[in-house]
Structure 1
Amino acid sequence: MTTIVFDLGGVLIDWNPRYLYRKLFTDEQEMDHFLNTVTTPDWNEEQDAGRTLAEGTALLVQQHPQHQELIEHFYGRWPEMLGGAIQGTVEVLTELRASGRYHLYALTNWSEETFPVAQQQFEFLQWFEGIVVSGTEKSRKPFPEFYHTLLTRYNIEAGQALFIDDNERNIHAAQAVGMQTVHFRSPEQLRTELQQLGVL
């Protein structure tokens, strides 16, 4: 194994819309209903895949005009959804980097417009030899071409690469293109699996 590929959100970076919307709702159930039926993960993924934030917001406001202000806060106050680094995973990344044994890359579903906010906030994003951002590529996980963009651009042999992601759907897609995988559940579980694989 020569290459380790990290997902970012949910693995290295704690991103959750609830951090923002808990400030805007007094009732947790109402908040969950809004996030599950209005600003849905599927809607957000379209921005991750290249639709502009303005287009995505306008479309949703048209569909749910009664929620205009809450919808506009999704990207208007997006930095408030960042909860910080997932420290245990950053420690694993630090050790992998220090070992010098692996090429380190990131493959992330992330809007091209919001990713610079994360780059400014998290120094460890500078440690990767390359980061493939879905919003820039106009494709995203779990589509095979998005994985192939990474593999081709950086001349990575799929069978020599280990991919780490918290979304099982994305793990299956990586396996389908020939990558080895670890389904991330916690920094402790990641460290244990990497030790079992002889990576750490």
Structure 2
Amino acid sequence: MNQRPHRITTVIFDCGSVITFDQNWEYVRRMAEFFNADPLAFRDVYVRERPEYDRGVLSAMEYWHRVGSHFGVGVSGTEVEKLAELDMKSWFTINPDTLAIIRGLKRQGLQLLVLSNMNEEGKQWMYGPARYCEGIDWIALFDQIILSCDLKLLKPEPQIYEACLSRAGVPASHCIFIDDSEVNVRAAQALGIHAIRFESAEKLLWQLSSLNLPGMNVASAVETMH
């Protein structure tokens, strides 16, 4: 994290591995089985082919066809639907401790945004089956949801952060950005955004509390964490 900010009005969260838990390897193994592939080899291809899918320029069919071509396996429309469902289930388990922090920040009156590299299927899953966690509509806690597939931009490209700041209507120095990727954190810092690399909800709570920002007593605002 860079130096202590003077005034914060906006907190920007990544989604995967921040709002949600890390990818569930049981679903990764099930996707790999479809291609008769070793899970690690499959995951390498899955990640390598991902950027243009998350950018929103590849359809799910095109993405999974590219993945399958590495293993000599074709995919039908029905199979793509099944793979996409496994893919979304692998990512969308909401972290209730992060959610508690988000709710605490919301009660402090801060503007909250999501900035995520996410494909169209992820967007539909987020607004659909994954929208509620323990009865809470977590999407409703955010003022804006900014996704790569809508902007055709990806983190860590500077343009996506600039678009986020424009949507937020605040200067970079008034924002905190939280992401699990060091590359994405450094890209935000290069634009003057105060950034935190997410490791756990517990550590994030400590990092936010240690800033001792006026009117932002995070620890007292957060409910009992799991």
- In structure 2, relative to structure 1, the CA distance for the partners of 1:109 and 1:18 (3 Å cut) is same
Runs of 5+ in structure 2 lacking a partner?
1-7, 132-136, 219-226
How many residues matched? 194
The reply to whether residue 2 of structure 1 matches residue 2 of structure 2 is: no
- In structure 2, relative to structure 1, the CA distance for the partners of 1:57 and 1:32 (3 Å cut) is same
SS state at 1:10 partner: coil
Aligned residue for 1:62?
69
Contact 1:143/1:173 (CA < 8 Å) preserved in 2? yes
The reply to whether residue 159 of structure 1 matches residue 168 of structure 2 is: no
SS state at 2:121 partner: coil
Task: Supply the distance in 2 between the matched residues of 1:25 and 1:84 (Cα, whole angstroms).
Answer: 20
Aligned 1:164-183 pairs, distance under 5 A = 164-183=178-197
Aligned residue for 1:81?
90
Task: Supply the distance in 2 between the matched residues of 1:160 and 1:9 (Cα, whole angstroms).
Answer: 23
Contact 1:3/1:162 (CA < 8 Å) preserved in 2? yes
1:41-89 deviation digits (Å, cap 9, x = unpaired): 23122211112212212223334324758x9454253233135111111
Task: Supply the distance in 1 between the matched residues of 2:9 and 2:71 (Cα, whole angstroms).
Answer: 48
TM-score by length of structure 1 reads 0.87
SS state at 2:39 partner: helix
What is the identity, as a one-letter code, of the residue corresponding to 1:107? L
Task: Supply the distance in 2 between the matched residues of 1:138 and 1:24 (Cα, whole angstroms).
Answer: 26
Task: Supply the distance in 2 between the matched residues of 1:46 and 1:74 (Cα, whole angstroms).
Answer: 17
Task: Supply the distance in 1 between the matched residues of 2:199 and 2:99 (Cα, whole angstroms).
Answer: 14
Contact 1:112/1:133 (CA < 8 Å) preserved in 2? no
Task: Supply the distance in 2 between the matched residues of 1:168 and 1:74 (Cα, whole angstroms).
Answer: 29
Q: Which residue of 95, 99, 102 maps to 1:93? A: 102
TM-score by length of structure 2 reads 0.78
Give the deviation of 1:138 after TM superposition: 0.6
Give the deviation of 1:98 after TM superposition: 1.3
The reply to whether residue 141 of structure 1 matches residue 155 of structure 2 is: yes
SS state at 1:178 partner: coil
Task: Supply the distance in 1 between the matched residues of 2:67 and 2:54 (Cα, whole angstroms).
Answer: 15
Contact 2:65/2:74 (CA < 8 Å) preserved in 1? no
Task: Supply the distance in 1 between the matched residues of 2:65 and 2:32 (Cα, whole angstroms).
Answer: 22
1:113-152 deviation digits (Å, cap 9, x = unpaired): 3212112222211211111100111111000001011111
- In structure 2, relative to structure 1, the CA distance for the partners of 1:113 and 1:126 (3 Å cut) is same
Aligned residue for 1:125?
139
SS state at 1:181 partner: strand
Identity %: 25
Task: Supply the distance in 2 between the matched residues of 1:21 and 1:167 (Cα, whole angstroms).
Answer: 20
Q: Which residue of 116, 130, 136 maps to 1:108? A: 116
Aligned residue for 1:11?
18
